[in-house]
Amino acid sequence: MGDANNAPCPEWALDLEQAAAGQDAANPTQTGQNTLADVALYVFTSGTTGFPKASVISNRRYLLSSALSYRGGLKCSERDCIYLCLPLYHGTGLFLGVGAAVSTGATMFIRRKFSSTHFLSEIRESGATCFIYIGELCRYLLNTPRQPDDHRNPLTTMMGNGLRPDVWHEFKSRFGIKRIAEFYGSSEGNIAFVNMLNKDCTVGTTSIPLALVKYDVDADEIARDARGNVIKVAAGEPGLLLGKITEMTVFEGYTNAADTEKKILRNLFKEGDAWFNTGDLMKTVDVGFSLGLPHYQFVDRVGDTFRWKSENVSTNEVGEIINGHPQIDFCNVYGVEIPKADGRAGMAALVLAEGIDTLDVQSFSRFVNEHLPAYARPVFLRIQRELDTTGTFKLVKGELRKQGYDLDQVSDPVYVLKPRSDTYELLDREYAAVLRAGEAGY
């Protein structure tokens, strides 16, 4: 179910119930010719930092992903209803949502487009017990006006990815969620994690062989010792996640062989080994009793971590804090270059909360100074009406980085935090010329 009424099936769609009427219940004859290794479908990567690529999804991967959802995450059955508002060309919605429903007989409530204002009423109307989410959706829901009965709904379990620690506890409490099965994975990757033990603020654990290795954020490359060997990180230290490629953990790659090879690192620990480069920084976290299984937390995308004032700055961590200011609805943090300054300065594209037309610069400046160390405070602010995202709700940063604080390319208001100042001020062309000349003194 998904439409607001019982309207007949539109002309462009196929009514499966009608099509199946009178058909033989036995499997088609060609079923026996299919194998687990056969290609089931192609899923395009999100295109967060570059052009989307078609990743190959075999029957094996689709079935494993679906089983991960209905057995390890949602733990659903035919008695459950899954609320699904993500696009079905996205792996999270298609694998975890549709896959779990098809595998178990659970009902699906499919919404054409996410709506924060209709979310709770539809959960109650449909009796949905499970929710497939993307972290940004949860943040949007928290920004809706709070009602005293928000927790009175049938929803008990949710599974998805990208739920950040600054949202996790409040969302769970406000909407009465008993189980959050955060997972980590990608359409093309050979490694996945799932929070099967229902621990807070973790993507859970995995049985797949992996390595977390030191990454030089400044040079944007894997760090190596004097002998040229990669270096594994200590417990709790962020490192680049690599998934070992074996017969059991195949990297199926993309339709383009050259793109596939670019994601493989070879001969890292011994001659002949191969590893899938996820491009993500992860770290282990202490979650208490966990059957001796190490648990992990997503830190950042490699390209989204930058170095400033000799310190590594995580865009996600800075963004989580800025989102705590009452005037901010959402923000997108990225690094930009300043001539004659080492590293990249932080810049934050901000969307103001509903009903707020102008940023209270004094209040925001005090908030940033109080909650962020000097090196992590964004040097530039850009006020936008809305943030650009991919079709799967991931923030797009490529164009923002290119435009930076160039007033010839940016029509939005831009603020700057000058050296030795604790208050943001509007960036004018006079000071922009000082920045271009490398004379600002950062």
Average pLDDT over every residue of 14-36: 87
Is residue 393 located within the same domain as residue 432?
yes
| Same domain (yes/no): 254, 197 | yes
- Per residue in 209-241, pLDDT tens? 999 999 987 677 899 999 889 999 999 999 999
Residues 271, 381 within the same domain: no
Same domain, yes or no: 182 and 56: yes
**HSE value, Cβ hemisphere, 13 Å, CA-based, for 208:** 27
Alpha carbon separation from 193 to 8, 71, 295, 315, 435 (Å, rounded): 41, 14, 9, 22, 44
Q: Let me know: does 301 contact 279? Beta carbons within 8 Å.
A: yes
Q: Which residue has the tokens 């078609």?
A: 54
Q: Does any domain span residue 98? A: yes
Q: Are residues 210 and 102 in the same domain?
A: yes
Domain that includes residue 96, residue range: 37-302
User: Does the pLDDT of residue 189 top 50, yes or no?
Assistant: yes
Domain assignment present for residue 31? The answer is no
Residues 6+ apart with CB under 8 A from 264: 245, 251, 274, 275, 276, 277
Summarised one tens digit per residue, pLDDT across range 403-431 is 999 999 999 999 999 999 999 999 999 99
Domain termination site, one of 274, 302, 330: 302
Coil, helix or strand at residue 175: coil
Question: 346: domain CATH number?
Answer: 3.30.300.30
Residue 297's DSSP bridge partners are 283
Q: What digits encode the pLDDT tens for the residues 76-92?
A: 999 999 999 998 988 89
Return all residues near 425 (Cβ < 8 A) that are at least 6 apart: 361, 415, 416, 418
The three-class DSSP label of residue 58 is: strand
**Contact status, residue 170 vs residue 138, Cβ threshold 8 Å:** no
The CA distance from 318 to 395, in Å, is 14
Say how many Å lie between the first and final Cα of the chain, rounded.
Answer: 57
Confidence band, pLDDT 50/70/90 cuts, at residue 107 = very high
Please answer whether residues 191 and 210 qualify as being in contact, where contact means their C-beta atoms are separated by less than 8 angstroms.
yes
Rounded to an integer, what distance in angstroms lies between the CA atom of residue 249 and that of residue 52?
Answer: 23
Specify the long-range contacts of residues 216-220, CB closer than 8 Å, at least 24 apart: 217/302, 217/305, 217/306, 217/307, 217/312, 218/307, 218/343, 220/302, 220/303
What does the pLDDT look like over 313-341, one tens digit per residue?
888 889 989 999 999 999 999 999 999 88
Strands 39-44 and 81-84: unpaired
pLDDT value at position 391? 64
Mean pLDDT of the chain: 90
In a domain, 32, yes or no: no
Main-chain phi, psi angles of 208, to 5 degrees: -80, 135
Non-local (6+) Cβ contacts of 186 within 8 A are 45, 55, 91, 278
Whole-number pLDDT of residue 9: 75
Can you give the pTM of this predicted structure? Answer: 0.74
Distance CA 430, CA 404 (A): 17
> Same structural domain for residues 249 and 381?
no
How many domains does the structure of the chain reveal?
2
What phi-psi label fits residue 245: left (phi over 0), alpha (psi between -120 and 50 degrees) or beta?
beta
- DSSP letter for each residue of 366-432: HHHHHHS-GGGS-SEEEEESS--B-TTSPBP-HHHHHHTT-TTT--S-EEE--TT-SS-EE--HHHH
Which tokens in the block code for residue 250?
Answer: 């195949």
Task: Tell me, yes or no, whether 209 and 235 share the same domain.
Answer: yes
CB of 97 closer than 8 Å to CB of 84: yes
- 220 and 167 in one domain? yes
Query: pLDDT (tens digit, 9 = 90+) per residue, 36-73?
Result: 999 999 988 765 445 667 888 899 989 999 999 999 99
Can you tell me the distance from the alpha carbon of 380 to that of 273, in angstroms, rounded to the nearest whole number? 44
